Structure 1
Amino acid sequence: MLHDRKGMALVLTLLAVSFMVAVTVQLGSSVNWQMQAAATQSDIVQLDAMLLSGLHLAQAALLADQRENQYDSAFDRWGTFDVEVLAALFPGGKLDVQVTDLSGLLQINALVLTTEEKKQQEQQNKKNKNGTGQQQDEEKQQRELWQRFLKNTAGLEKEEDILSLLDSLVDWIDEDDEERENGAEKTYYSSQSPPYAPANRPVLLPEELFLIKGWDKLLRRESEDDDTEEAAKKAAAIIQYLSAAGEEGTINLNTAPVQVLQALHEQMTEELATKLVEFRQAEENKDKLEELDWYKQIPGFPGDIVFDNELVTVSSSWFKVTVDAEFKGLQRTGIGVIHRMDNQEQELLWWKAE
């Protein structure tokens, strides 16, 4: 009996020791995990700090450039950031800052005048006794600009297809529920599966076009001949030339891509647009970009092509900032849009880190 009790005590002792070892191992593992998690969280905080630093650098460059001159081009301070300087700011980490001029793109929301703009136009028209002529002229200019763009870049030949896209886009943006001749309002969108309603407000992101009648098929290029990858490329080829920022409708000649430059005039070709890009990229032409009609100085440029001063500019107000940060194997990207105003103040419209 005594022998059995001693054996049982030994077994219980071994069980107790095994339990304590297991608890100790578990506790050690938990402590290590918590230490690792704390270290990782610290690295993430460092990454967020790097992203905000990149954003502030972009804002500082935009302000410095605005104080230096009144026109914008790729030669400006915000156009390039010194890689070595950025590397010195965060030893052990990498920081990349890219600023894209959105004023060189087509402004989606410029197709529709805001309520405030319409009131101002009406007041001005009453003073000038011009009725609604000026408002109609501005909307007509934008529609013709978009018609040329869709014809050249999207390859649309039928006028009714282009008008349908533009009417649907305007119906999506404007505040009323009146359906244009080739457009779409509540009746159309409520019949979709699942049903939804038109925004009746300015477009927030270019990708919102996928929700609009006709644009979804155009951007996806729905046909049996297109695979998913090719369709995505074609969609991106159009969206990359559009901006949801700004409503002025003016395009910066100094930063607009070939496809946008080509849409500025009926006689503009891809070859002529390429000549404009080559001219403005030459260092010796840097100072010439201050003039709105610098394109007339290009050798061989047709004299009968004159851009409408209501459609073009050489200064910019809207910029996209992309900041990439890397620290201890972790990576984060911050993207935002800045509105730089004439009074040298800036408004950060949105910012997201991913």
Structure 2
Amino acid sequence: MKLLLLQSWWGNDMNNKGIALLMSLVLIVLVVFIVINILNTTWVDVSESAIFRDRALAKINLISALNYATALLVKDAQTNNIDTLRDNWADKEEISKAFSEWAGEDVEIFISDETGKLNINSLVKQDGQYNANIMNVLLRLLKGPFFKLSAEDAQNLLDSIKDWIDKDDEPTRFGAESGYYKDLGLKYGAKNSAIDFLEELLTVKGVTPEIFYGTGESPGLKDLLRTRGPTTININTAPGEIILALGDNMTWDAVAAMLDYRLEQGNELGKKDWYKSVPGMAGVALDESIITTKGELFKVVVVQRTSATRRNLIALLERKGKDVKILDLKVE
């Protein structure tokens, strides 16, 4: 009897100790689980805080770089009456280096004179008729060695762009007004107002992706056109493809000579006919009615890189005299 009681007591005691041990293990696992979760949460919070900090610093540097670019353009207007690719604002390496040293971060700044491109909206005058000078430049561009359109296809394409912009609903020759797009089952018609974004051209009859974006060998319309700014083109900063289209008797060799000439320090670029000073071009006549030597529209691209992020800023600036105004601003 005593033996049975002893065994019973001993068994109960062992069971109690086992339960206590099991509960202890469960408690330890629970504590470890909680600690691990706290550490993970803390690590995530720290990591997210670091990313947030990097993004905030990047944005501050982007805006500061834009202010720096704006100051360069204002200073340039105070000292120069013309804009060329020899100006300080056009030296990407130098201005990026100067700002990066000040900011203590790797920042790239690129300023381009958009006035060197052609304003596609200037193709149509206020009365809805063609601006003949701009039309002729575009025809030469489309028929030239980069787009290689036939004279008929080039004219038809411009007719379609004109119909997209002009306010009436009467097709221009073989152009396209709203009826054309509706007959195709499209949910849009001709805009009948100015183009706001170049990408709109992709919806216009005759504008293919190859014409708009270009190919590996040739640029596209997106590289040569703009939708804002003056009708005139800055001959000092215009791409070679545009310069080639400024006159009937231009050749690519003549364009190459002009591009070299305008980069040479000391060469005078203040007059619209400076190209006549280029060897072999004394008898060349460009359409000076749409030529200027001054920039009014500038694009600023800023790239900020950190260990964890890369952010871009793209701004379109309008400079009138010594005043600079932001027309568009996008941070990516």
TM-score exceeds 0.5? yes
Match of 1:262 among 244, 249, 271: 244
Q: CA deviation at 1:312?
A: 0.4
**CA distance in structure 1 between the aligned counterparts of 2:179 and 2:83, rounded to whole angstroms:** 44
Q: Residues of 1 paired with 2:330 and 2:32: CA distance?
A: 46
Correspondence 1:301 to 2:314: no
Identity %: 28
Q: Which amino acid aligns with 2:52?
A: Q
Shift of 1:245: 2.4
Of residues 82, 95, 108, the one that matches 2:120 is 108
Residue of structure 1 aligned with 2:291, choices 312, 318, 322: 312
What is residue 122 of structure 1 aligned with on the other side? none
CA 1:39/1:28 → structure 2, altered by over 3 Å: closer, same or farther?
same
**Distance in 2 of aligned mates of 1:333 and 1:173:** 32
Letter in 2 for 1:64: K
Cα 1:240–1:220 change in 2 (3 A) is closer
Deviation of 1:169 (Å): 0.8
Mean Cα displacement is larger for which, 194-203 or 264-273?
A: 194-203
Mapped to 2, the partners of 1:100 and 1:39 lie a distance apart of: 34
**Which whole-Å CA distance do the structure 2 matches of 1:328 and 1:109 have between them?**
42
- Give the aligned partner of residue 42 of structure 2: 31
User: How far off its partner does 1:82 sit?
Assistant: 3.6
Q: Tell me the amino acid that sits aligned with residue 251 of structure 2.
A: T
Give the Å deviation of 1:14.
1.2
Matched, 1:85 2:98: yes
Contact (CA 8 Å) 1:74, 1:255: kept in 2 or not? Answer: yes
Q: Are positions 1:239 and 2:227 aligned together?
A: no
- Contact 1:171-1:183 at 8 Å conserved across structures: yes
Contact 2:123 2:162 in 1 (8 A): yes
Structure 2 unaligned blocks of 5 or more: 1-11
State the match for 2:109 in structure 1: 97
Over 3 Å counting, the alpha-carbon distance change for 1:193 and 1:217 in structure 2 is: farther
> Could you report, residue by residue, the CA deviation over 1:305-351 in whole angstroms, capped at 9, with x for unpaired residues?
22233210100101111111122342211112111113x22221111
Question: Structure 1 residue 232: deviation in Å?
Answer: 4.4
Q: Are 1:199 and 2:191 matched, yes or no? A: yes
Structure-to-structure mapping, 1:36-185, within 5 angstroms: 36-80=47-91, 81-91=94-104, 93-114=105-126, 118=127, 139-185=131-177
Separation in structure 2 between the aligned mates of residue 72 and residue 220 of structure 1, nearest angstrom: 28
SS in 2 for 1:310: helix
Following superposition, the deviation at residue 159 of structure 1 comes to: 2.0
Q: Which amino acid aligns with 2:280?
A: G
Partner secondary structure for residue 290 of structure 1: coil
Moved more, 193-202 or 12-21: 193-202
Contact 2:122–2:134 (Cα < 8 Å) also in 1: yes
1:11 deviates by: 1.1
Partner of 1:6: 17
Distance 2:183 2:323 in 1: 45
**Superposition RMSD on alpha carbons, in Å?**
2.2
Question: 2:278, 2:192 → 1: CA distance?
Answer: 43
- Judge conservation of contact 1:318–1:340 (CA < 8 Å) in 2: yes
Offset of residue 234 of structure 1: 5.8
Distance change (3 Å), C-alpha of 1:53 and 1:284: same
The equivalent of 2:201 in structure 1 is: 209
| Counterpart residue type for residue 95 of structure 1 | V
Secondary structure of 1:190's counterpart equals: helix
Alignment partners' CA distance in 1, 2:119 and 2:162: 13
Unpaired runs of at least 5, structure 1: 119-134, 222-230
Is residue 330 from structure 1 mapped to residue 309 from structure 2 by the alignment?
A: yes
Shift of 1:193: 5.7
CA distance 1:253–1:206, shift in 2 (3 Å): same
Give the deviation of 1:213 after TM superposition: 0.9
Given that 2:317 and 2:324 are in contact with CA atoms closer than 8 Å, whether structure 1 keeps it comes out as yes
**Superposed displacement of residue 295, structure 1:** 1.2
Greater C-alpha Rg: 2
Contact preservation (8 Å) 2:89, 2:95 = no
Number of corresponding residues: 319
* Secondary structure of residue in 2 paired with 1:301: coil
SS of match in other structure, 2:289: coil
Residues 14-25 of structure 1: matches in 2 within 5 Å? 14-25=25-36
Supply the distance in 2 between the matched residues of 1:106 and 1:322 (Cα, whole angstroms).
Answer: 20
CA distance in 2 between partners of 1:100 and 1:217 (Å): 24
In the other structure, the counterpart of 1:292 is: 272
Partner of 1:276: 258
| Deviation (angstroms), 1:153 | 4.2
Task: State the Cα deviation string for residues 167-201 of structure 1 (Å, max 9, x = none).
Answer: 11111122333322211122222244653233333
SS of the residue aligned with 2:269? helix
Distance 1:192 1:51, change over 3 A: farther
| Maintained 8 Å contact 1:151/1:157 | yes
TM-score (norm. length: structure 1): 0.84
Q: Is the 8 A contact 1:154 1:238 kept in 2?
A: no
Deviation, 1:262, is 0.9
